[in-house]
Amino acid sequence: MSRFLQENLNRRVSADAWKALLQPPWGTVGPNRGFQLRSAGRVVGAYAAVYSSRGHAVDVCNLAAFCVLEDFRSHSLLLVRALLRQRGYLFTDLSPSGNVPAMNERLGFRHLDTSTRLVANLPHPARGVEISDDPAMLEATLTGAALEVYLDHRGARASRHLLVRDGDRYAYLLYRRDRRKRLPVFAAPLHVAGDTELLASAWRGVASHLLRNGFLATLAERRVLGFTPGGIGRSLRNPRTKMFKPAETAAAGDIDYLYSELTLLEW
């Protein structure tokens, strides 16, 4: 499947990177890694999936990558239905493109509120707080669920980690490098743990740290950060679509972006 996705979905992503998506560092969870569509013994379509089980009333199946060769597009729903007929899962689709969002809507998926402000990362001293991406400091500081998330994602290829610390208070930011208009210079927060107020108050220092690491701006999604950074920026008219198909016991507020292709794959 990894070779098929590399050759037909995104050649910029190596086959090894696709393989890493199918073998996430938090270990084997779920009944499969997705499904393939075959014709005359060759792969003509694939839908990769990433599974997780972590505190929800139901487990999560993340629909991670979808590609079907043009001559076989009429059979695409076979892959989708094979995944969706698996009972007991909350399904997420966090990077749908093309006609997939419209198809998802017909299949009962809902849109998440992805209101996003594009904020410039400007140089600014970090006053009164420590801001670090040092793995030893992260592991020594984080506790409980935040530490579990960090340990599970420290080997995930697209996951980047940042710690803000002020005495006994800390905030943990997990983010990824995002590409817009072919420019891979945007930081996209995926998860926040700890003291959100500390992160908000130290944001200018965080933004300066991101700038030093090559991120010219942050795609600040409010539902992730819990606040909207000020400064030079603008609200996006058309933020990236993210969708979910709810289970009976889970709703939009239960959805996060962890344990997904967003943490595993840069494209």
Residues 108 and 126 both lie in one domain? no
Query: Containing H/E element for 181?
Result: none
Residues 201 and 253 both lie in one domain? no
Say what the pLDDT of residue 238 is. 93
Say what the pLDDT of residue 214 is. 98
Residues 56 and 129 both lie in one domain? no
Residues 135 and 202 both lie in one domain? yes
How does pLDDT run across 106-130, given as a tens digit for each residue?
A: 999 999 999 999 999 999 988 899 9
Residues 230 and 120 both lie in one domain? yes
Domain of 147, CATH number, reads 3.40.630
Say what the pLDDT of residue 56 is. 58
Residues 103 and 174 both lie in one domain? no
Alpha-carbon distances of 236 from 37, 219, 222, 259, rounded to whole Å? 37, 9, 12, 26
Residues 75 and 13 both lie in one domain? yes
Residues 163 and 204 both lie in one domain? yes
Say what the pLDDT of residue 254 is. 77
The tokens of 253 are what? 């507020």
Q: How many domains does the structure of the chain reveal?
A: 2
Say what the pLDDT of residue 58 is. 73
What does residue 227 show for φ and ψ, rounded to 5 degrees? Answer: -160, 170
pLDDT average per 10 residues of sequence, the chain (267 residues): 94 93 89 96 97 78 97 95 94 96 96 97 92 98 97 97 97 97 96 98 97 98 96 96 84 86 96
Residues 75 and 179 both lie in one domain? no
- Quickly count: other Cβ atoms within 10 Å of residue 211's Cβ: 19
Q: Which residues pair with 187 in a beta bridge?
A: 177, 218
For residue 231, what are the domain limits? 116-235
Residues 126 and 107 both lie in one domain? no
Domain of 49, CATH number, reads 3.40.630.30
Say what the pLDDT of residue 150 is. 98
d(CA 61, CA 217): 31
What does residue 127 show for φ and ψ, rounded to 5 degrees? Answer: -95, 125
- Quickly count: other Cβ atoms within 10 Å of residue 106's Cβ: 8
List of long-range contacts for 209-212, beta carbons under 8 Å, 24+ apart = 209/126, 209/131, 209/133, 209/162, 210/121, 210/162, 211/121, 211/122, 211/123
How does pLDDT run across 213-228, given as a tens digit for each residue?
A: 999 999 999 999 999 9
Alpha-carbon distances of 182 from 21, 23, 97, 186, 267, rounded to whole Å? 22, 27, 16, 11, 10
Cα-to-chain-centroid distance, residue 140: 25
Residues 97 and 124 both lie in one domain? no
Residues 15 and 95 both lie in one domain? yes
Its pTM stands at 0.94
